[in-house]
Structure 1
């Protein structure tokens, strides 16, 4: 799997896990599933960073997302 896809999937899971964690804290229940999703997201992003020669920078992230979306559409 391309490292761009791994990074984009990790960012997507991370974006969806943060509101789930906040909801769990607001309802005073343990955020087990959302925390597991957040850890999975972080591990996917670290995996993509390690596998990419030269790594990623913050300025690369929008290009990665647009490239993955364009690949999915085409």
Structure 2
């Protein structure tokens, strides 16, 4: 349970970090767009970036937690 919660927490910090922590390459599919959205949110270049970044982070957290607990993600 601790490993799953830690992976979910990492994914809330930056989507995809929890997957990378669990050794999954598919975390890069979350991490790269998430990093770009985070950059856009901080530079205020795109107003919707905050909402999309949060949505991707929450989805990645659920997926990382699911993978750590059940052995497969939600996608």
Which one has more relative contact order, counting CA pairs under 8 Å at least 6 apart?
Answer: 1
Could you state the TM-score of these two structures normalised by the residue count of structure 2?
0.46
Structure having the higher helix fraction is 1
